[in-house]
């Protein structure tokens, strides 16, 4: 297999399809990029400041839950009203993990992240809520997805595997996604949010958000790692036992927050949900 050069418009589809040389899923190989980890380590102390560097993540969190509800509601058979198990991959400081753990429909949430500094912030914040201290309610692990033991039974798999603002920070998204698939139980969902790779997203996320308005710290995003919605749809369509993909475009409107926008998945931020066949 030829060496994959840094992502470009022409070779990103190849990057999605191929694995890096010597990659073995759920082995000592890892999707962790130390440069990305260092960047988020520097932001750890302000993770729970609603006006700090993670402000947009706080504002987006309600839409994450809305999208998951929409995915579950789209099933032909009703989703369980209780006992849902979540695996939040790249959980960061725990914004989504905490909120999911507080839901009455949730049995447990496991958040994993390669940054020990960010996880320290997540654990410290969770200790402020007695509900989150209940055994099995919320657990944080300093691991990458490749380091987690593979589930041996359906009971060890998860109803929801979330990848919120994660995949655009991964150098090799295809093997990373491959490593996520076994953790979802039949009938469960992978739900993610990311950014389409278009000139519009380059202007809004790099020029405006990072350089002009300074809404997010410089270096947060690498435009060449963005993945278009149709590329992800195509990737999942090639995986046996996965289907029912649905997406939702969203836009940040200063002064109003995040809003759903029809067709936004084609040029900016978006959510994507894909379901594992219940009979798999």
Model confidence pLDDT, tens digit, residues 22-49: 333 444 456 776 766 666 666 677 889 9
pLDDT value at position 3?
31
Which residues lie below 8 Å from residue 217, measured CB to CB, with a gap of 6+?
Answer: 39, 42, 43, 53, 210
Given pLDDT bands bounded at 50, 70 and 90, which one contains residue 205?
Answer: confident
Provide the pLDDT for residue 81: 85
Q: How close are the terminal C-alpha atoms of the chain, in Å?
A: 31
- What percent of the chain is predicted at pLDDT more than 70? 85
Most confident of 25-34, 180-189, 199-208, 257-266: 180-189
Higher pLDDT pick, 106 / 23: 106
Degrees, nearest 5: CA angle 146-69-134 = 60
Q: pTM of the prediction?
A: 0.86
Position 279 scores a pLDDT of 80
Distance, CA of 81 to CA of 131 (rounded, Å)? 19
Q: What is the DSSP letter of 6?
A: S
Neighbours of 232 (CB within 10 A): 24
Per-residue pLDDT of 66-77, as tens digits, reads: 999 999 999 988
Q: What is the pLDDT of residue 202?
A: 87
């Amino acid at each position: 297999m030829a060496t994959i050069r840094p992502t470009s418009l022409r070779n990103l589809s190849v990057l999605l399809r191929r694995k890096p040389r010597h990659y073995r899923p759920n082995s000592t190989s890892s999707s962790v990029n130390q440069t990305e980890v260092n960047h988020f380590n520097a932001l750890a102390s302000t993770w729970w400041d609603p006006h700090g560097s993670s402000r947009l993540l706080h504002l987006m969190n309600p839409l994450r839950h809305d999208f998951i509800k929409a995915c579950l509601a789209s099933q032909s058979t009703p989703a369980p009203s209780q006992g849902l198990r979540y695996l939040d991959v790249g959980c960061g400081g725990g914004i989504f993990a905490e909120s999911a753990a507080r839901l009455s429909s949730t049995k447990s949430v496991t958040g994993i992240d390669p940054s020990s500094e960010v996880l320290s912030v997540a654990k410290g914040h969770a200790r402020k809520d007695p509900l989150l201290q209940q055994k099995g309610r919320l657990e944080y692990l300093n691991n990458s997805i490749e380091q987690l033991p593979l589930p041996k039974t359906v009971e060890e798999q998860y109803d929801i595997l979330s990848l919120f603002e994660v995949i655009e920070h991964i150098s090799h998204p295809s093997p990373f996604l491959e490593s996520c698939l076994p953790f979802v139980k039949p009938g469960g969902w992978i739900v993610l949010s990311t950014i389409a790779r278009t000139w519009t997203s380059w202007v809004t996320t790099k020029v405006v958000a990072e350089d002009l308005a300074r809404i997010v710290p410089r270096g947060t995003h690498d435009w060449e790692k963005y993945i278009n919605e149709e590329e992800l749809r195509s990737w999942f369509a090639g995986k046996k036992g996965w289907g029912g993909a649905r997406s939702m475009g969203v836009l940040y409107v200063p002064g109003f927050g995040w809003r759903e926008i029809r067709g936004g998945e084609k040029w900016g931020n978006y959510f994507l949900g894909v379901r594992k066949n219940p009979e798999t």
